Amino acid sequence: MSIASISIRSSNVTINQAQYQLLTTAGVKARLLEVSYIGGTATAASLSWGRPAAAAVTPGTTLTFQRDDSADPACVTTVSATYGTSPTNPTVPHRRWNGAATVGVGIVFTFPRGIIVPVSGAFVCSNITAGVVADHNLVIDE
């Protein structure tokens, strides 16, 4: 396993829908080491991070994590910020956060031993209230 990261901008502001979904493939699990959130608009937001009860049925545009060491094999874990059907909110979130109505307000969560996202598993950042356009950074060990 080796370290990989990605940065995305989400725009799903709908209550009880995901801002993004991390998805592993049928052959690989990943350890989620860090997530960050930086609000892009001056709107208060409440968010949760965790495993969805159900992953997105049809992820839209997907981005693949990039290795921090380009000599390592390519990653297969992806992240999507659009879906045909949004993944569900976590039943029991790993983290929750409430942000002020200020552009640039944010939070960084680290998971020292990593949250295991199993083979063909998912992890989401979900809106509890109406969300905001935001930048997200994620670090995994895959």
Strands 30-39 and 122-127: unpaired
pTM metric for this prediction = 0.93
Query: Residue 55 corresponds to which tokens in the numbers above?
Result: 């992953």
Amino acid at 6: I
Domain boundaries, the chain: 3-141
Query: Residue 127 corresponds to which tokens in the numbers above?
Result: 């809106």
pLDDT in tens, 86-128: 899 998 999 999 999 999 999 999 999 999 999 999 999 999 9
User: Residue range 36-56: average pLDDT?
Assistant: 93
Half-sphere exposure of 94 (CA within 13 A, CB side): 18
Q: Quick one: pLDDT at residue 137?
A: 98
Q: Quick one: pLDDT at residue 34?
A: 98
Is-contact 125 34, C-beta < 8 A?
no
Q: Quick one: pLDDT at residue 12?
A: 87
pLDDT in tens, 56-96: 878 888 999 999 999 999 999 999 998 888 899 998 999 99
- Which residues pair with residue 23 across a beta bridge? 78, 122
